[in-house]
Chain A
Amino acid sequence: MINPFEDFKDFQTEARALPLDRLAPAHDEAMAALTSGYTKLVEQEVKSLVWFVEHNRVIEAYTVACEVIRGLDYDGQHIEEFCYQLESGTAMPYLISGPAGIYISALCNHVPEDDMVLRLRHMQRQMHFLGYRLPHGKTLRIEGDTGNFTGAALNGGQLIVAGSSGDWAGAGMTEGKITIVKNCGRNTGEWMQGGEIWVGGRIHGLGRSVSGRIYQAGDPVTGRER
């Protein structure tokens, strides 16, 4: 009987032996550093007990986050694992969606890779501020839903959310493109000063924008202008 797989007779998979003895300690170190950075940020931010979304507070939190991650050696995979540990890990302090999102955004904005994927479908809680200040030349793809202020203050990067996002998406963004495959919430594009928001599904409400373009299911929509 003829072997129908003859064409794959010589197929060899590349050996994928991982040097676990070297990788594991390096990985643990990187994760410990990320956790420690987040702990510092949370300690700083919980001083006021309740975390408010306030313009100055956001900038301050982002500045602290950039400060604590300076010099850390990590990559995109570490960020993804960090997200996973935020919810399920025991080594992590409590999860506050705002600072956590800002911390993850700071990590993404400073990681050496230009293209990143965060698989967040498993997360019970949606993280706010993902894609905050994403700079030129960076592409961040998020698989799963995101919380409020997705892509806020986007700074020229490409943010793709393969899911839905909450309110205030693209708030204050200056340039770049946000693609939200499903739906997004209210005040979309509030204070938006440029760039493009493309929503595959429905936009529940538009914010007052200064400039830029917003599309719903491929058609341009006009928000209230400032």
Chain B
Amino acid sequence: MTTTNGTHLQTVRELYDFIQSRLYFNRPDLRLNGTAYNSSLLLNLLTAVLGGKSLIIGEPGLGKTTAAEYVGALFYRLPVGTLWASEVAGHPEQTEEKIIGRPDLGKLNQGQEEVVWSNFVQLPVKIVDEINRLPETKQSMILDGVDRGKWEYLNEIIINDEYCLFATANYQDRGTNTIIAPLLDRFDVTVESRYPGPSYAFLISQRQEKEKLLRHPELEGELQAALRSRLLPEERRTRLAAISEAFGAFLGESFGLTTLDGQGRQELRRQVLSMPLNQDGNAFTRTLLAELSFCHRHGQKRSNEICDEGCHYTGYLCHRLLNCASNRLPVSVTNYSKALAWFAGADSVSLEEIRAVAPYCLAHRAQWTEAHLSLRQQDRRNDPFHVYLARQAINEVYQRYSEQADHVKEALGRAYRIFQGEGLEPVAGDHPIYAEIRKDLNLEE
């Protein structure tokens, strides 16, 4: 690793340690190569690193929003007070004008159209609190913004160069709605902010001042003024960067923390995304995707088509699923496993990192059959139901992959040569991956 690489890694690890020891107290629940992490904190930090999207679920008051605020504040050098002023609250009366922007009324009186963008749209850290209290019809308002960082109002448009999204959701109660499938699919990971246990809960009660650590009223005021100013976009960006820089200096002086500016964050992101996947990680991901999207009868999974009994492939995940894996799933799995491997100090992404993050990437995207849900409902478990189901599914695929890893890799290796024009027969096998390879080679009837 280069020195810069090591420096950035050190910076991010220090942020994790700082949050873990001073701000967000919870038990470790994710183990990788002998090191234990708290999944909520780690995955939210990786979301900030990658510029990803986290759906944070959990009971009220268990630190869903605060975890996102701490991570966002430290990684993007924004005082917590500014993040509070930019958060969007999910409720039935929410409107586009409150979330995205509104017309400048003064200008409108003069017959001019100018948009006053919301803080939410302008800042790189986007937090939507209780997203499932937004009615389903209003959830589509934020689809494009969530997906591409592109926000439109009247005839104006704003595109975020870098941003990350944290949305919190409570478990179903009278005031919540279902999150629509297209919006759910746009989240990279689902993570639960869990009950920390009585000892940490007690500790939290003794440290009620911790939120003030990341406040800076003076800089918050300056940021608010800059966000409201009528500066040109470029000037405003420079002004915001300068205030962030000042907050970074404050963090350094107060806590000895190193933080990254915009350029540093981009550089770090490039490093993370350039991590290579080793062949096992690569082949396992393909094997998993094959099970999640394959249908022997209908050519591929489609949520409007029922998978009948009596199919040869009933032992695989495809039989228990209703929907097809979207192309966003492998993006999330590979990006987060790269970030995890990078964070753990590995040289490449192995199967272990993929196994560790895949349940969180799959949990909100997989729609299981009623039969499967009722079969597993009473299982003893430690995860929320959908994360548990995803974890079980990944473990199952892992077991199947382990039994035939060489065979799968050989099938992929030979497929390369057939694709290049060599007259070979593809490797045959029972798993859907072999059938999918045949389709890729245009050999399936």
A interface residues (Cβ-Cβ under 8 A, vs B): 3-14, 218
Q: Report yes or no: B412 in contact with A5, Cβ–Cβ below 8 A.
A: yes
CB-CB under 8 A for A8 and B440, given A3-B420, A13-B413: no
Partner of A6, one of B409, B410, B416: B416
Q: Report yes or no: A3 in contact with B419, Cβ–Cβ below 8 A.
A: yes
| Interface CB pairs A-B, < 8 A, 9 | A5-B419, A5-B440, A7-B279, A8-B409, A8-B412, A8-B415, A9-B413, A11-B412, A13-B406
Q: Report yes or no: A11 in contact with B279, Cβ–Cβ below 8 A.
A: yes
Cβ contacts under 8 Å, A14 to chain B: 406
Cβ contacts under 8 Å, A7 to chain B: 277, 279, 282, 412
Q: Report yes or no: B415 in contact with A218, Cβ–Cβ below 8 A.
A: no
Q: Give Cα distance in the complex from A144 to B282, angstroms.
A: 33
Q: Report yes or no: A5 in contact with B416, Cβ–Cβ below 8 A.
A: yes
Count of residues in B whose CB is under 8 Å from the partner chain: 15
Q: Give Cα distance in the complex from A13 to B283, angstroms.
A: 14
Q: Give Cα distance in the complex from A6 to B413, angstroms.
A: 8
Cβ contacts under 8 Å, A6 to chain B: 416
User: Which chain B residue has the least Cβ–Cβ distance from A11?
Assistant: B413
What are the 5 A-B residue pairs with the smallest beta carbon separation, nearest first?
Answer: A11-B413, A5-B416, A8-B412, A8-B413, A5-B415
Q: Report yes or no: A11 in contact with B410, Cβ–Cβ below 8 A.
A: yes
Cβ contacts under 8 Å, B415 to chain A: 5, 8
Q: Report yes or no: A9 in contact with B406, Cβ–Cβ below 8 A.
A: no
Q: Is the interface of B mostly helix, strand, loop or mixed?
A: helix
User: Which chain A residue has the least Cβ–Cβ distance from B379?
Assistant: A218
Cβ contacts under 8 Å, B409 to chain A: 8, 11, 13
Cβ contacts under 8 Å, A9 to chain B: 413, 416
Closest CB-CB distance, A123 to chain B, in whole Å? 21
Most buried by B among A6, A11, A14, A218: A11
B interface residues (Cβ-Cβ under 8 A, vs A): 277, 279, 282-283, 380, 406, 409-410, 412-413, 415-416, 419-420, 440
User: Which chain B residue has the least Cβ–Cβ distance from A1?
Assistant: B419
Q: Give Cα distance in the complex from A11 to B416, angstroms.
A: 10
Q: Report yes or no: A5 in contact with B413, Cβ–Cβ below 8 A.
A: yes
Q: Give Cα distance in the complex from A218 to B381, angstroms.
A: 12
Cβ contacts under 8 Å, B406 to chain A: 13-14
Q: Give Cα distance in the complex from A6 to B415, angstroms.
A: 9
CB-CB under 8 A for A218 and B413, given A4-B440, A5-B419, A11-B279: no
Cβ contacts under 8 Å, B416 to chain A: 3, 5-6, 8-9, 11
Cβ contacts under 8 Å, B279 to chain A: 7-8, 11
Q: Give Cα distance in the complex from A14 to B409, angstroms.
A: 12
Most buried by B among A7, A12, A14, A218: A7
User: Which chain A residue has the least Cβ–Cβ distance from B277?
Assistant: A7
Q: Give Cα distance in the complex from A13 to B277, angstroms.
A: 19
Most buried by B among A3, A7, A8, A11: A8
Q: Give Cα distance in the complex from A13 to B380, angstroms.
A: 41
Cβ contacts under 8 Å, B277 to chain A: 7
Cβ contacts under 8 Å, A12 to chain B: 413
Q: Give Cα distance in the complex from A9 to B415, angstroms.
A: 9
Other A-B pairs, 17, CB within 8 Å; known A5-B416, A6-B416, A7-B277: A4-B419, A4-B440, A5-B413, A5-B419, A5-B440, A7-B279, A7-B412, A8-B412, A8-B413, A8-B416, A10-B413, A11-B279, A11-B409, A11-B410, A11-B413, A12-B413, A13-B410
Q: Give Cα distance in the complex from A59 to B416, angstroms.
A: 59
Cβ contacts under 8 Å, B440 to chain A: 4-5
Cβ contacts under 8 Å, A11 to chain B: 279, 409-410, 412-413, 416
Q: Give Cα distance in the complex from A14 to B279, angstroms.
A: 15
Q: Give Cα distance in the complex from A69 to B243, angstroms.
A: 82
User: Which chain A residue has the least Cβ–Cβ distance from B418?
Assistant: A5
Q: Give Cα distance in the complex from A218 to B378, angstroms.
A: 12
User: Which chain B residue has the least Cβ–Cβ distance from A14?
Assistant: B406
Cβ contacts under 8 Å, A5 to chain B: 412-413, 415-416, 419, 440
Q: Give Cα distance in the complex from A51 to B402, angstroms.
A: 43
Q: Give Cα distance in the complex from A4 to B330, angstroms.
A: 14
Closest CB-CB distance, A10 to chain B, in whole Å? 8
User: Which chain B residue has the least Cβ–Cβ distance from A13?
Assistant: B410
Q: Give Cα distance in the complex from A169 to B419, angstroms.
A: 55
